[in-house]
Each structure stands twice: as structure tokens, then as C-alpha cells.
Amino acid sequence: MFVDKVKVYVKGGDGGNGMVAYRREKYVPDGGPAGGDGGKGADVVFEVEEGLRTLMDFRYQKHFKAPRGEHGRPKNQHGKNAEDFVIKVPPGTTVVDDDTKEVIADLTQHGQRAVIAKGGRGGRGNSRFATPSNPAPEIAENGEPGIERYISLELKVLADVGLVGFPSVGKSTLLSVVSAAKPKIADYHFTTLTPNLGVVETEDGRGFVMADLPGLIEGAHSGVGLGHQFLRHIERTKVIVHIIDMSALEGRDPYEDYVKINDELKQYNMRLLERPQVIVANKMDMPDAEENLAKFKEALQEDIQIFPISAFTRQGVRELLLAVADIVDTTPEFPLYEEAPDQTRVLYKHEKKEDPFMISRADDGSYVISGTEIEKLFKMTDFSRDESVRRFARQLRGMGVDDALRQRGAKDGDIVRLLEYEFEFIE
């Protein structure tokens, strides 16, 4: 089964917890704190594996959670960092954040890697919190939570040449003739339901990859017929080979077919028309084909190469392949995005800082505190130790949570909820 679009959940590994420990050795008085830091959680990394052709594996496993870092140890021993959680994807995979629609990575080369969800840093041990006024603290942090997100994976096949045209114009037949590919061929529309790839080798030793893509009909840009299932896969091609049934056996006008297909390409993505296009007048062995070709050339206003062929008898196929190979050799790659995502570059922008917390009221009258920053702070606090709890209370006060609750009308004894935990507001 060919799967080319899936939605999955990924989560980077949490950092390991820091440790509260003290140095106790014979003849070493007042050894002091010796709790080590936790290790870093694993990153979720996508890596291109050229042997893969579909996103089939993601259909059955849609949740990927990376392992957490090792907890800190006594004697100031740092917990082990977790190794990257590597997931293999086929070449041509685009990774998009499902919430923001931002392109995270465009993976095309074998071995190419991209970090999709970063793991959290390890929590600090109590030796990190020692000060002259508190030389033996009982404070240690929990590990930072890893990034979690829903992402969409889209596979756009890697081919140099894309065959486009209405159903039953001979795309699959041509591919089967010029390569070792064996696409399904039958006398009905939409025989091809998934893209077929074939490696074409010309008589002078040059080669390129050709994709036979599902048939296109009017309205495909808005999802009619196979719609986007087809158009997604032509985005990476360097040359478009437009196949037209010049015999007009189904009663359609060849020139109208040409105009409609180009209009669908334009409606889907204007940049598709930037690619060089070759017109293939197929089924020239049929009656009336020559007459229809003459009318087509009269109607065609553009200066585009036209190759009369018969995929069935192989007439004109040699000249077509040589011409397409020439165009492929001289045509540069067309980037899918104006600016490819760069994992190593950091972009600093002047933006308003997101509020660290928000306060709302629940149906039962309790106050609900939410926000990315305050929730992360809560998860990194070790509530099993009183000193850590007092530190958390000081941090909330410094962020302005107490004052904000008072402004919302909170009184002594009111219930305050953060995530699934409840606290009591005390003046």
C-alpha cells in the first residue's frame, strides 16, 4: 500500500532528575552537597533512508516518545545523556508542524537528518544550589520536559520527470515501454492510483527518474478526483511531460485538454508553470490523429516542443527520451520552499514576550493557572522536599502570580489549580 500523508505525535525525552546527596567520607568533615545533575533527554531525529518508498510504517505506529536522561547520582556524578531517538523516513519527506503549519524540515538526501522534537535538559543536583548562606541545600530540580508536538508528514516523490495528463492518455503505457517499471494498465479511468517510478536510460548512457502520476481531471486543485494526491508529487519534478491523447477517442478536444491541465497546475501552485514542459502527442497510430495534431499546432500559441509518438508501437519514443534527457541535464533543481529550514541557524526577532501565565475561573469557582513557562517550572520542581516547595512559592511570587490572583479576587482559602494539582491560596 502506498501511504504518502500521515499525522503523528512525537515527544522528546525528559531530562533526568537532579539528586540531593551529601559527601560522607572518613576524615572529611563537613563534606557538603554532592548531588549530581540529570542527563539530557533524547532528541527525536528523522533520518532519510533511501530504501524506503512510502510512509507505511507511520500508519501503524503514530506515537513516538524518546527515552529520558539518566538521573543524577551521588558524588557529583552526572546522569548519562540519552542517545538520539532516530526514526527512518523515505527521501522526499516534508515535516510540518500540525498546529502552526510551519515547515520543520524538508528531507531529500540519503542520510540527511533533522531534529523534530528536542529533549529536555537534565535537572540540577543540590551541589548547584550551594551558597555561603545555605551551604547544604536540600534542593534539586526535576528534568526539563521534552518538546511534544503533532506533526504532518507528506511524501512528495523524487523524480526528474513527471508525466501529466487526463486519465487513459497513455502515461502508464509510456512508462512501461521506456523503463522496467510495471504499472497497472487497463482500459478504464484512474487505473493508476499511486505514483509509479521508473528509471529511464537513453541509448547514449544518460539516465533519469520518471514518475507516472495519477490521472488529472478538471477541479483537481480543489481535491476533485485524486486531486492533491496527484499534485503533491509533481512539486519536486524538474521537467513536466504533458501527454495528450491526439486520437480524441473519448470525444475530448486535445487542445482543451492541454489548457485544462495547465490551468489545474496553475491553480494548485503557480511555480509549477516555471518548469520546462514538453508536449507528447500520443496515439499517433490511430485514425484522425494527424489531422487533430495539425489543429492542435494551429491553436497552440506557445513555443513548446511537440513530440508525436505512439507508446503502443514505440514510434517516436527514442527522440522523445533524448530530448527530455537534454532538458533534465540543463535544468536546475526547483526548491519547494523559498528558504529551506536551517537546523544550525538561529533567527532573533523582536517579538512581544509571551505571558508566562494566565489565570481563568473554572465552573466550580476555583482559579486555574496555565501557561507554558509556569507549567514547565512546576514539572521541574521536586515537591517531596520542603525546601524545593518554598523555592517554587518564591518563584511564583516573583513572576507576579500572587498579585494577579488577588486582582482576580482570590481570598484566603480559595482553591488554585495548576495542571491536575490543587493548592490553597493563603494570604
Torsion angle of C-alpha atoms 179, 184, 186, 191, degrees rounded to 10: -120
| Cα three-residue angle 14-369-116, rounded to 5 degrees | 30
Q: What is the pLDDT of residue 227?
A: 42
Q: What is the set of domains in the chain, with CATH numbers? A: 1-156 (2.70.210.12), 161-330 (3.40.50.300), 358-424 (3.30.300.350)
Q: What is the pLDDT of residue 288?
A: 83
**Closest listed residue to residue 155, CA positions, set 243, 12, 57, 265:** 57
Please enumerate, by residue number, every residue annotated as part of a binding site for Mg(2+): 172, 192
**Amino acid, single-letter form, for residue 131:** T
Going residue by residue through the chain, which has 427 residues, state the pLDDT in tens, using 9 for 90 and above.
Answer: 456 688 999 999 999 999 999 988 888 777 889 999 999 999 999 999 988 877 888 888 999 999 999 999 999 999 999 999 999 998 888 899 998 888 898 888 889 999 999 999 999 999 999 999 888 899 999 999 999 999 999 887 767 888 888 877 777 888 888 876 565 454 444 444 566 777 788 888 888 888 877 656 555 444 444 444 556 667 778 888 888 888 877 778 888 888 888 887 777 765 677 788 888 888 888 888 888 888 888 888 778 888 888 888 888 888 888 888 898 888 887 666 554 445 556 666 666 667 788 889 888 888 999 988 899 999 999 988 899 989 998 998 898 998 998 888 888 888 999 888 888 888 7
pTM of the model: 0.72
The values of phi and psi at residue 86, to 5°, are: -95, 130
**Buried-state track 152-179, b at ≥16 Cβ within 10 A, e below 16:** ebbbbbbbbbbbbbbbbbbbbbbbbbbb
Contact yes or no for 158/109 (Cβ under 8 A): no
β-strands 161-164, 239-245 pairing: parallel
Q: What is the pLDDT of residue 189?
A: 44
Rounded Cα distance between 284 and 249, Å, is 12
Q: For CA atoms 273, 279, 280, 283, give the dihedral sign.
A: positive
Return the C-alpha cell found at 207.
Answer: 539516465
Q: For CA atoms 354, 418, 386, 41, give the dihedral sign.
A: negative
Contact yes or no for 107/340 (Cβ under 8 A): no
Write the burial class of residue 262 (CB in 10 Å: 0-12 exposed, 13-18 middle, 19+ buried).
middle
Helix H or strand E segment including 290: helix 289-299
Please enumerate, by residue number, every residue annotated as part of a binding site: 165-172, 190-194, 212-215, 282-285, 310-312
Q: What is the pLDDT of residue 215?
A: 58
Q: What is the pLDDT of residue 181?
A: 58
Please enumerate, by residue number, every residue annotated as part of a binding site for GTP: 165-172, 190-194, 212-215, 282-285, 310-312
Rounded Cα distance between 389 and 92, Å, is 49
Residue 352: how many other CB atoms lie within 10 Å: 5
Q: What is the DSSP string of 30-57?
A: S--B-PPPPPPPPPEEEEE-TT--S-TH
